[in-house]
Structure 1
Amino acid sequence: MSAPVRQGGAEAKPRTASAPDNARPRHILLIEDTPSLQMVYRSVLASAGHRVAVAGTAAEGLARFHEVTPSVVLLDLMLPDRDGLDLMQDMLRLRPETNVIVITANGSINKAVEAMRAGAHEFLVKPFDEQRFLGAVENASQARTPRQPRRAVPEPEAPVVLSGSFLGSSDAMERIQSKIRSAARSMATVFITGESGTGKELCALAVHANSPRASGPFIALNCGAIPQDLLESEVFGHVKGSFTGAIADKPGAAAAADGGTLFLDEICEMAPALQTKLLRFLQTSTVQPVGATRPRKVNVRIVCATNRDPLDAVRRGHFREDLYYRLYVVPVHMPPLRERGDDVIEIAEAALSRFAAEEGREFTGLDPEVAALFRRHPWPGNVRQVLNVIRNVVVLNDGGLVTPRMLPDDFSDQDLPVDVALPGALPTSSEPILNGLIGRTLAEIEQIVIEATIARHGGSVPKAARVLDVSPSTLYRKRESWKG
């Protein structure tokens, strides 16, 4: 087994400080097979005002679970008589409202992630310090029941609360809504992937709206749209005078999201130095603004997103592996619109109704020819492109049935042009574009497309960034890396 809880590099000793006035003793069940760790964990918990029951095996733990009805279970996944994950699932079947914190060693992080997906509230990786330990227990103790008990007669599942254009009845979207329904009730981090324009932020909003934190704030931060030298201040805040331009205290996104959800978009664009601080924040649930001398504890649920392959970013050294495992607990992949069947019609009709009301116009729907055209179109810009097309129609036309002639001049049911000459592509301009990309790595294809887009816009990186739906700083960093 790994080393026990540590405090300042030494084995933790019982604290004499009393529990906060508003903290009531809570039943905690500790299931740990190492006597020395049992003693340390129990001492730390007792000194914080918790009532602790201890078990050394899975069988004993299940018996104590029935006896004490704990609100929180601390469960070591490596038990001598049974797999800890199986034990956790049995306990959650008996009392789904129980919050389980799993404890594991460094070499078993994948097991901890599996436990989070199976319903664990949080996980701790040994060795951990006392502050992290008590913080996890306190968050679990204060969490409202994240899961509803199962009933003998199944009831219809509550519909997912949707917002904006997060619509669709396709099988793919039904699977996503089912996953959101399950994940929203827990504290597990949700990691959303998908192409630009597929609705990743709307997915994050749906997770928040269907969670016990729905009444709390939803704070969104685009990690790729903020200059790296200001990103730490945006996330963690700063105090007045901490740097040039800091004319007043600023709480930061993490503190602003206290009691709610913090959505970190384009997470893979975060600078390595800030990734380290984000990992520390996830481990301790505390933020320390730039220039501040003391950290502040917050209670925040993290949802993040990227249009890149996060595991590929880890392999390339652009994203910390330990941060990846901490965040990549409940993955949700938003499919491109071209794979969602008739969802495009549902989205277009909803957008038509909304935009017409905003502009004071009266539209009656989509012409069958337009609907067929929409179904055939590849929609490289995904949902965002649909909204732009419908907005254009509503603004430039008086109303009635949407016909093909109302569509924007640059809209076509054809795929991307086949005669685009890309820098570095092998074929001549008369050959299909894909022939010049087959056999190349994704990194090479990315460079070709980025450079071609910049060239098409007269060398303007900001204009190219708008077309590619990324921040200019992302393109500047990529081009700098290619020079090296």
Structure 2
Amino acid sequence: MKAASAVRPPILLIEDTLSLQLVYRSVLSSAGFRVSVAGTAAEGLTQFQSLNPAVVLLDLVLPDRDGLALMQDLLALQPETSIIAITANGSVNRAVEAMRAGAHDFLVKPFDDNRFLSAVQNALAERAQRPKDNAPVVPPPERLTLTDTSGFIGSSPAMERIHSTIASVARSMATVFITGESGTGKELCALAVHANSARANGPFIALNCGAIPQDLLESEVFGHMKGSFTGAISDKPGAAAAADGGTLFLDEICEMAPALQTKLLRFLQTSTVQPVGATRPKKVNVRIVCATNRDPLDAVRRGHFREDLYYRLFVVPIHMPPLRDRNGDVIEIAEAALRRFADEEGRLFLGFDPAVQDLLSRLPWPGNVRQLLNVIRNVVVLNPGGWVTLEMLPPGLSEEGSTPAIAAPSPAPAADPLPLDGLVGMTLAEAERRLIEATLAQHGGSVPRAARVLDVSPSTLYRKMESWRKDGD
């Protein structure tokens, strides 16, 4: 242990509570780290200048000075230092401020030993990958580059703010919670966080919690062992284990069943996974990014989403704005998509006719970026090339609302809403279908509006409608 400690860079702990000083120091020393402790900001600054520590664990509430102000002074003296902010459970906003001001990571009290040590080890691992010269670390660029950028470009103020936020938080371990309507590019946002992080060379595993039956979701997230249930013919690593060393993106997180929410919370607290049927947990190093098209706080109020899990996940919120609120981005996205799709199809398109640009700019785009991309794909596939004119656009695009050519599949003709006794004698599946069809008919076939009334995600309705079609209806 002494030999290991001798080669490890020093760690400075700035914490004014004596009992916590003893606990944190004990955990770090047991893991082989050299630790120096300061109880005030002034003492911490003095030790920082003499020790030049690799990592600083900094409580944001100190008796003689604001922790954020001290952090800025420390980074001004040594920009390459990794600072891990520590804050109480009710001060998450302070931790987010610290991340934006340059903190590498943060811990919210109370936290367990595994989370504590993981934060320190990740900070040291990233430090080891940096160039060996004394130049300050260059921050990530605020303009982000992805393999598929057509849905995540735009120079509107709303998108500039998102690029700036991602650039600030990507290299931390902080959980990112992305909200926004369907089709706004939440997964592309998650990819941007991953691509600009120290985990960019690791896996990016995406899992849609609303697209997987609830009885299979636990196996998909945490894996299972051979023979653990009927049909488990071999061991299967779950998404959490597959994302080890990288990022796990949980889309439609609010659709997760309560029982699995409990297990996800434990995973976040311990950084361990236990496959279904396994007797021992396995430690993994995963950064969580999640997303939902619902209001997560409303889901908490309704009892559909655990409050403690919400506060554990909702650390750095990013809201993807609807396309209608991204002034000027429509044409920028459309032009990028036209170039990409034309290249894929081997066709030459020169651009958009002014009348087309005017129409695309005025439409409300209820399906957001996804709908716009589908329109451009439709144009490229069905036309030989040249300038895109109004005649090349899908029929009905000039009408208010969504495009028939790319709209959600129309449900079967629905009868008038049934009284309760009209449902008697039906199977549960039949009654559910009648209710969904009646709600869709009442809202003009709009899946998002019907989903809000029924308090489910739009993807749930799309899946059910698709299953009805597959059954031959």
| Length-normalised TM-score, structure 1 | 0.78
Contact in 1 for aligned 2:224/2:236 (Cα 8 Å): yes
Instruction: Name the CA distance, whole Å, in 2 between partners of 1:88 and 1:267.
Output: 34
Task: Report what 2:179 is aligned to.
Answer: 193
Contact in 2 for aligned 1:365/1:401 (Cα 8 Å): yes
Task: Report what 2:62 is aligned to.
Answer: 79
Q: CA deviation at 1:369?
A: 0.9
Q: Indicate yes or no: 2:343 matched with 1:357.
A: yes
Instruction: Name the CA distance, whole Å, in 2 between partners of 1:79 and 1:69.
Output: 21
Aligned-pair identity in percent equals 71
Contact in 2 for aligned 1:96/1:147 (Cα 8 Å): no
Match of 2:45 among 44, 59, 62: 62
Task: Report what 1:388 is aligned to.
Answer: 374
Instruction: Name the CA distance, whole Å, in 1 between partners of 2:52 and 2:134.
Output: 17
SS in 1 for 2:350: strand
Stretch moving more, 189-198 or 157-166: 157-166
Task: Report what 1:174 is aligned to.
Answer: 160
Task: Report what 1:120 is aligned to.
Answer: 103
SS in 2 for 1:294: coil
Q: Indicate yes or no: 2:211 matched with 1:211.
A: no
Q: Map of 1:253-332 to 2, 5 A cutoff?
A: 253-332=239-318
Instruction: Name the CA distance, whole Å, in 2 between partners of 1:414 and 1:251.
Output: 47
Q: Indicate yes or no: 2:326 matched with 1:337.
A: no
Aligned-pair Cα RMSD in Å: 3.7
Contact in 2 for aligned 1:98/1:145 (Cα 8 Å): no
Q: CA deviation at 1:423?
A: 8.5
**Which runs of 5 or more residues in structure 2 are unaligned?**
404-413, 418-434, 466-473
Specify whether residues 48 and 380 from structure 1 end up closer, same or farther in structure 2 by C-alpha distance, changes over 3 A only.
same
SS in 2 for 1:470: helix
Q: Which amino acid aligns with 1:123?
A: F
Instruction: Name the CA distance, whole Å, in 2 between partners of 1:150 and 1:194.
Output: 41
Instruction: Give per-residue Cα distances to partners, 1:156-176, cap 9 Å, x unaligned.
Output: 956321342211122222222
Contact in 1 for aligned 2:140/2:167 (Cα 8 Å): no
Contact in 1 for aligned 2:415/2:438 (Cα 8 Å): no
**Which runs of 5 or more residues in structure 1 are unaligned?**
1-17, 425-446, 477-484
Instruction: Give per-residue Cα distances to partners, 1:407-435, cap 9 Å, x unaligned.
Output: 11132242479xxx9989xxxxxxxxxxx
Contact in 2 for aligned 1:139/1:299 (Cα 8 Å): no
Match of 2:14 among 9, 19, 31: 31
Specify whether residues 380 and 100 from structure 1 end up closer, same or farther in structure 2 by C-alpha distance, changes over 3 A only.
same
Instruction: Give per-residue Cα distances to partners, 1:381-427, cap 9 Å, x unaligned.
Output: 1111111111111222222211111111132242479xxx9989xxx
Task: Report what 2:429 is aligned to.
Answer: none
Instruction: Name the CA distance, whole Å, in 2 between partners of 1:131 and 1:123.
Output: 14
Instruction: Name the CA distance, whole Å, in 1 between partners of 2:309 and 2:101.
Output: 20
Q: Which amino acid aligns with 2:354?
A: P
Contact in 1 for aligned 2:365/2:402 (Cα 8 Å): no
Q: CA deviation at 1:220?
A: 0.7
Task: Report what 1:378 is aligned to.
Answer: 364
Count residues with an aligned counterpart.
Answer: 429
Q: Which amino acid aligns with 1:471?
A: T
4+ aligned runs moved over 6 Å, structure 1: 19-23, 145-152, 421-424, 447-450, 454-459, 473-476
| Length-normalised TM-score, structure 2 | 0.80
Q: CA deviation at 1:101?
A: 2.8
Q: Indicate yes or no: 2:140 matched with 1:130.
A: no
Stretch moving more, 201-210 or 48-57: 201-210
Task: Report what 2:421 is aligned to.
Answer: none
Specify whether residues 469 and 387 from structure 1 end up closer, same or farther in structure 2 by C-alpha distance, changes over 3 A only.
farther
Instruction: Name the CA distance, whole Å, in 2 between partners of 1:412 and 1:132.
Output: 53
Instruction: Name the CA distance, whole Å, in 2 between partners of 1:184 and 1:458.
Output: 36
Contact in 2 for aligned 1:147/1:185 (Cα 8 Å): no
SS in 1 for 2:205: strand
Stretch moving more, 109-118 or 214-223: 109-118
Q: Which amino acid aligns with 2:387?
A: L
Task: Report what 2:427 is aligned to.
Answer: none
